[in-house]
């Protein structure tokens, strides 16, 4: 697919972070200055903004190639994103998104795969894959049935008998539309009030995990100014069937669990230990809407490379 050129402005960042309750200082047009040794010289685009742009452009690509029919016929209900963040993207910085030609594999199972690359000013910003599968690629073996009824668990607390931090989030059409527009996606392709159409995008519910992680860190008295963390990768498996059932005011229970740091889990085989989180979006019917593994590292460790 031919490269396309895009530009985020600060207003896009403002809209997206407000819609997803993301109060990370890296995106704040004033408070980015308060981050110790911040190398970015200004606010930066949200990772989930870039993911949403990829989702939307992949949707247009699938429609142009008539691949959405394959996905429906073969019941490829899981949408998977494997994203590695290489550099930060600033507002007003022109960038390109390239979607490579679809590869169709049948062994061991049918999979549609596209490589995606975002570049700006000669540097790679992001690279990864978008894959369509019948089963989730990430955290597929997780069983949450042993957890107590999440309706009975207090918000912003650990689920009893587990390592999961719980926070409730509600779907609001206005927030979703704003997040789409803030991510350079056409909201009218998802929402049409006169036609009574409201199709939720895949990434928006996932984007709420960033705000939940920030809330968790704040309760743990993390110093966002002196010890900021940055994403290095996202791995997402999203159940299209349940995304298709989402509607205004639906509740999603977001669960996040921090994994123990390990010398076997490092950034690009360096000595930098990754801080990994497993995140899940659980619906009222106890079905899993999304499964995410997020990797972060302290900014100061990145600056040492």
pLDDT in tens, 76-107: 999 999 999 999 999 999 999 999 999 999 98
Residue 267: the pLDDT is 80
Strand, helix or coil for residue 110? coil
Residue 108: the pLDDT is 87
Confidence of residue 266 (pLDDT cuts 50, 70, 90): confident
Both tokens assigned to 302: 């990145």
Q: Whole-number mean pLDDT of the chain?
A: 94
CA angle 135, 139, 141 (to 5 degrees): 75
Instruction: Report DSSP state, residue 263.
Output: T
**Percent of the chain having pLDDT more than 70?**
99
Residue 118: the pLDDT is 97
Instruction: Report DSSP state, residue 203.
Output: H
Residue 2: the pLDDT is 54
Strand, helix or coil for residue 237? strand
Residue 4: the pLDDT is 77
Q: Which residue has the higher pLDDT, 261 or 167?
A: 167
Residue 222: the pLDDT is 93
| CA distances, 212 to each of 108, 115, 218, 286 (Å) | 36, 29, 10, 19
Residue 305: the pLDDT is 64
pLDDT in tens, 107-139: 888 999 999 999 999 999 999 999 999 999 999
Which of the residue ranges 55-64, 234-243, 261-270 would you say has the lowest mean pLDDT? Answer: 261-270
| Strands 229-239 vs 157-158: parallel, antiparallel or unpaired | unpaired
- Phi and psi for 94 in degrees, rounded to 5? -65, 140
Cα distance between residue 154 and residue 253, in whole Å: 11
pLDDT in tens, 13-30: 999 999 999 999 999 999
């Amino acid at each position: 697919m031919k490269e396309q050129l895009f530009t985020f402005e600060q207003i896009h960042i403002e809209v997206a972070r407000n819609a997803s309750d993301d109060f990370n200082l890296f995106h704040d047009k004033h408070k980015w200055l308060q981050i110790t040794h911040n190398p970015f010289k200004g606010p930066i685009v949200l990772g989930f903004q870039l993911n949403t742009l990829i989702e939307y452009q992949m949707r247009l690509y699938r429609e142009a190639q008539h691949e959405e029919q394959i996905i429906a016929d073969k019941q490829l209900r899981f949408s998977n994103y494997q994203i590695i963040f290489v550099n930060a993207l600033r507002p007003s910085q022109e960038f390109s998104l390239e979607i490579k030609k679809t590869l169709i594999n049948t062994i061991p199972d049918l999979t549609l795969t596209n490589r995606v690359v975002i570049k700006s000013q000669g540097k790679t910003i992001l690279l990864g894959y978008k894959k369509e599968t019948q089963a989730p690629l990430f955290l597929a073996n997780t069983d949450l049935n042993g957890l107590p009824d999440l309706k009975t668990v207090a918000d912003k607390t650990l689920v009893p008998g587990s390592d999961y931090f719980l926070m409730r989030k509600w779907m609001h059409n206005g927030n979703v539309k704003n997040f789409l527009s803030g991510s350079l996606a056409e909201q009218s392709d998802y929402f049409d009030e006169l036609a009574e159409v409201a199709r939720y995008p895949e990434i928006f519910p996932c984007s709420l995990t960033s705000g939940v992680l920030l809330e968790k860190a704040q309760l743990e008295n993390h110093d966002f100014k002196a010890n900021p963390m940055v994403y290095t990768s996202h791995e997402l498996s999203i159940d299209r069937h349940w995304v298709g059932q989402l509607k205004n005011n639906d509740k999603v229970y977001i669960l996040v669990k921090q994994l123990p740091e390990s010398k076997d889990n490092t950034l690009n085989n360096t000595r930098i230990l990754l801080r990994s989180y497993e995140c899940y979006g659980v619906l009222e019917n106890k079905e899993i809407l999304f499964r995410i593994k997020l990797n972060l590292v302290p900014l100061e460790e990145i600056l040492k490379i």
